[in-house]
Structure 1
Amino acid sequence: MRNFGNGQKKNKNELNFANFNEGVLGKEPNWVKEKRKADQINPAKVNVKKRWTKEEDNLLIAKVKSNNYTYKMISEDLFRTESAIKRRLINLNVPYRPIPEEWKPWSEEEENKAITLREQGYDCFAIGRILGRTQMSVVDKLRSYF
């Protein structure tokens, strides 16, 4: 695997380096290091197929019922993606939803940074964390670009 990374760069968004230590695959190009950093802050990459516990379900329901938390806040507390939280609430038939995030327009600088990060292999969750945006707002914003 001396030349790992030469052909994989074009498919980097499909790869998950969250659980690979540096050097395991041999000499790595710089893009792999960036991709690993992005993957390690994303619960969807770290918690692959992690089951919800009863404690997490109870905490999720309590937070949503309190009407004080956004998807983003709950996501950070439970280290789950906003999509996973949304899905779990539906699966549990919980009639409550997190409070909406306050809307703020995207600046041109934020858009450019989001595009650059996506091209570097960061996914929408990681981009949202970096920019202080929700995962869902990043998905919506980048949909027209990719």
Structure 2
Amino acid sequence: MKFWTDEEISFLQERWGLTSIRRIALKLGRSENAVKLKAQRLGLGDARTHYDGITLNQLSLVLNTHYSILKNWTKIYGFPAKTKVFALKDEVLVVTYKDFWKWAKENKHMLDFSRLERLSLGPEPIWVAEKRKADQIKKQYVPKPHNTPWSRTDDEKLKWMLNKFEYTYPRIAVELNRSQGAIKRRIYDLDLKARPIRLPNHIKYTKEEEDLIVDLLDKGYCFDVIATRMNKSALAVRGKAERMGYRFKNGVPYKLEKEVKAYG
């Protein structure tokens, strides 16, 4: 039996979870079974728990997102998952925490941080708190399905808001948790004469409003929320963003640099 030196034990402890068992064994000139047995006796546990990252399967559970979706992200959206061998032959997809947060910052619009428990992926960058807040607010703008029956209370609230002559379509839609299309249809079905007030969609945007669009998009806010803050329709604000040089891929905004300088 070949005794383990202090240097070999230190190497095993340092590389456990970072280097495959096979490579550790080759480096130490020992069998793979000998390395596994020594790691077990040292109480090192599962090699994956010593990796400064997370497997794609574990990440899918943390993000409450299907594994196949995350796997597709590696092919389509450059998600930085890599193949790694922890044990003898088993290969798994993993991502380091550092790579995950770097990618997440650039693609924050694809992630719903309201479903991510704080610190479940280690220390969080400063921007995550604002994005989590944006995702929590966004849930208020998810309308009921179009076929949801209208209650008498809903109808009375709709009539009251119309007769106040101070509410816009987006504001009424938020208050009743309905789409703007559903609001328009209900007004027609009830044969109501009053209408929501018009939005200032055709008024020229100020520099402060343009800066606000850029700032909120960068923080991960959706167009419904941005539009409500600006008292405009979401479609109008998105149109303005596109004229400012923004394009969108899977909901993620990015700028066409040649067009950014020309917007006005």
State the TM-score, normalized to the length of structure 2: 0.42
Asked if residue 32 in structure 1 is aligned to residue 103 in structure 2, the reply is no
The corresponding residue for 2:119 is 23
- Superposition deviation, residue 63 in structure 1: 4.8
Query: Cα gap change, 1:28/1:125 in structure 2, threshold over 3 Å: closer, same or farther?
Result: same
> Structure 1 residues 2-11 or 57-66, which shifts more?
57-66
**Which of 144, 156, 163 lines up with 1:66 in the alignment?**
163
- Answering whether residue 120 of structure 2 is matched by residue 120 of structure 1, we say no
Deviation track 1:13-66 (CA, whole Å, cap 9, x = no partner) reads 111223434223332112221211112222xx3565755463375256425753
Deviation at 1:71, TM superposition (A): 1.6
Of 193, 198, 215, which aligns to 1:100? 198
1:67-123 per-residue CA deviation (whole Å, 9 max, x = no partner) reads 723123314423x4xxx5223236x56426533124543211220221122122222
Residue 87 of structure 1 aligns to which amino acid in structure 2?
G
Extract unaligned runs of 5+ from structure 1. none
* 97-106 vs 25-34, which moves further: 97-106
Give the structure with higher Rg (CA): 2
Residue 128 of structure 2 is aligned to residue 9 of structure 1 = no
- Please report the TM-score for the alignment, with normalisation by the length of structure 1: 0.69
Greater RCO (CA < 8 Å, at least 6 residues apart): 1
In structure 2, the CA distance between the partners of 1:139 and 1:59, relative to structure 1 (3 Å rule), is farther
- The residue type paired with residue 77 of structure 1 is E
User: Aligned residues, how many?
Assistant: 138
Q: 1:94 to 1:72 in 2, by over 3 A?
A: closer
Q: Relative to total residues, which structure has the larger strand share, 1 or 2?
A: 2
Report the CA distance shift for 1:141/1:17 in structure 2 as closer, same or farther (over 3 A).
Answer: same
- Give runs of ≥4 in structure 1 deviating > 4 Å: 46-53
